[in-house]
Amino acid sequence: FRRVLFRSGGETASLYVRLGWYAVRIATAPGTGEVTHAPRLGEAHPLSGHEAGCAMLAYLSGGDFARYRAWGDARRIRVPRALPDELAAIRERGFARGVSDAEARVAAAFPIRVSGEAVAALAVEAPVLKRDARRAPADWTEIAAHVEALLHAQPALFENPYGHIDPDMIDRK
């Protein structure tokens, strides 16, 4: 993972996988710039609560999205009503943008897909994009494509050992 991210331009990057209705950080490659941070491994966010989760959520089937919304509503997790439009925009752009009203630049996340479904997401954990960016830098798109190629070459690396568990039954408490 770190070798793949060597070309990252010094930004911290993380790999997230889907566990139930959560995006869970399983690997981090800390940046080399002056200001870096080392995000906590195992940190979990509801899919709609982080750009990595949104990158994965955008590639769920319509029925799964309805289940996610019902799951979120039952737990009082805010699932924005405009989220379906944003998920369509993610599919069109090929990446999710972080959300920040205060910042001119935001983080980004790229879906890692197999058979059309996102099983993971590569997140650039730094403000690397303009908030309204329609295109991602080519180097990050290439890195995400390389991680996706690794998935296709070695699918066992991304097997979900909890895939048989109903996503509604997984809670981070």
State pTM to two decimals.
0.86
CA-CA distance, 12 to 10, in Å (whole number)? Answer: 7
- Res. 99: pLDDT tops 80: no
Cα atoms found within 13 Å of the Cα of residue 163, Cβ hemisphere only: 6
Can you say whether the dihedral through the CA atoms of 88, 130, 136, 134 is positive or negative?
A: positive
- Digit-coded pLDDT (tens) for 10-34: 678 889 999 999 999 998 887 776 5
Q: Identify the band that residue 108 occupies on the pLDDT scale cut at 50, 70 and 90.
A: confident
Average confidence (pLDDT) over 102-130: 80
